[in-house]
Amino acid sequence: MASVREETVRGIKWGLIQKCTMQPVQFLFGIILARLISPDEMGILGLTSIFFAFAGQLQECGFGTALIRKQDRTDEDICTVFWFNVAMSFIFSLALFLAAPWFVWFFDQPALLNLTRVSALLMFLGSTGSVHWTLYNARRDFKTPAIVSMCTTLVAMPFTIWAAYAGWSYWAPMLQGIITGLLGLITVWIISPWKPKFKFSKESFNEFFKFGVNLTLSGIINKTYTEVRIFIIGKFYSPTQLAYFSRGEQTCRLPLSLADSVLGPILFPILATLQHDKNRLSSVYRRYISLSALVVEWGMITMAANANALILTLYGEKWATAAVYAQILCLGWMFNPLLSINCSMFAVLGRTDIMLKFETVLRVFSITAMIFAAFVSVKALCWAAVLSAIFAIIVSSFLVTKISELTIIQLCKAFIPYLGMSIIANIPSIFIDSLTFVPACRLSIGIVSSLVIYCLLLWFKRDSSAGILISLAKEKFLRKSHA
């Protein structure tokens, strides 16, 4: 069996290949769509996410996570999860399809009728390939999903841009989802070595359900908070304000998406192999926090400091309002790496009961703050999200120390130094972004100055996590040189 280091390196390598290949392309793609499709039209499409977020959480019921965690899984286990997913997906897809007229009435948006029905069909079709992708993660094969994702996205992009130019409005992004979903489904059914059989084990179902029910309830509670924000903005403000909010959130998540795409797929499968060795698990956990924080903290603070110039450069003046939301939301999203890893620890150690209690307390606090903020403004909703993120980090970190060999001091040492260095590195960027010259120039100068200062701070600190990334890059370079 490959070592944790080897599997981490392999996962990071393919995550970086995927992100470094697709990030520039997706950047350009998003810019083109934002300039061709109005905020109001993008907001209408965003309303469909509310219902499918809940349905997606319910149809899986944590069975995929349970399947990855179980190291001695059998074909009967896998088939049980597959048929359960398909059955649940069919039920929820049919319910959403039939409920489409109600969505039209509630939001007073006729376009939601066909958008909802097409999305419901795609959700059901996607469920027939979800277990195949779960097995790739369980086997820690990160190469295949990365290649398939890159290829399907590259194929879909030209058609999506053509549709936007042709005036398809909100149907252009939907076309991208249709093409990538169908191509990914066909591909995984062809290349996957596993094929479903007509097996269903009551014992396997009971085992996975016992583990997954708490994950599902935790997910539903979490989705209630995130999607109710969309509901409030879309219903009580306007689709345009929803589009500004979504664009700001998507923009500030760019650094986070890099860390998620690199570490996200490998995090739980690798930690799950260490579930019976708490000392080693704690050591790998701290290293993952440091590696993630190294990238995300600087990225988030830099994004907040340069948000105005970034939004104006990429999307144009009509999206300027999104910059304010992006700046605020960055302050909340920068805690996400630690929160995600904490939640993975709950699942790895089999303490989904603690995760459920944590999510319940957190979302009662968060939804209460959000309801009060909703009476003020969309900006107040963003600040409520930041407050909730801080509360989540404090509570989840405390709980992790109770079920592991970790201490609060160790968590702080793995996370806080990068936050402090990122703030210092971006002091010049804050001043530069307040100036009035060309946004693209402000953006370039702000990012470069911040990066230079950050690298210097890491060098003076002799940061071990930065050293690991550099050594991995050198190993990769030398291996290619000798090949």
Q: In sequence order, which residues have a C-beta less than 8 Å from that of residue 450 and are 6 or more positions away?
A: 298, 302, 305, 306, 425, 426, 428, 429
298 Cα distance to chain centroid: 18
pTM of the model: 0.63
Calpha distance 168→163 (Å, rounded): 5
Contact 193, 9 (CB under 8 A): no
DSSP states of 305-330: HTHHHHHHHHH-GGGTHHHHHHHHHH
**C-alpha span between 369 and 382 (Å, rounded):** 11
- Owner of token pair 């989705």: 223
Residue 219 and residue 185: Cα distance in Å, rounded?
A: 24
- Number of structural domains, the chain? 1
Q: Is residue 463 helix, strand or coil?
A: coil
One pLDDT digit (tens) per residue for the chain, 483 residues: 445 455 555 555 555 555 555 566 666 777 777 777 777 777 777 777 666 665 555 555 556 666 777 777 788 888 888 888 888 888 888 888 888 888 888 777 888 888 888 888 888 888 888 888 878 777 767 677 778 888 888 888 888 888 888 888 878 888 888 888 889 889 989 988 888 888 888 887 777 776 666 666 666 666 666 677 777 887 778 778 888 888 888 777 777 766 665 555 555 566 666 666 667 777 777 777 887 788 888 888 998 888 888 888 877 788 888 888 988 988 888 887 778 778 777 777 777 777 778 878 887 888 888 888 888 888 898 899 889 888 888 888 888 888 777 788 888 888 888 888 999 999 988 888 777 778 888 888 888 999 999 989 988 888 776 766 666 555 544 444 444
Task: Give the structural domain span for 418.
Answer: 4-482
For residue 380, what are its two tokens?
């107040």
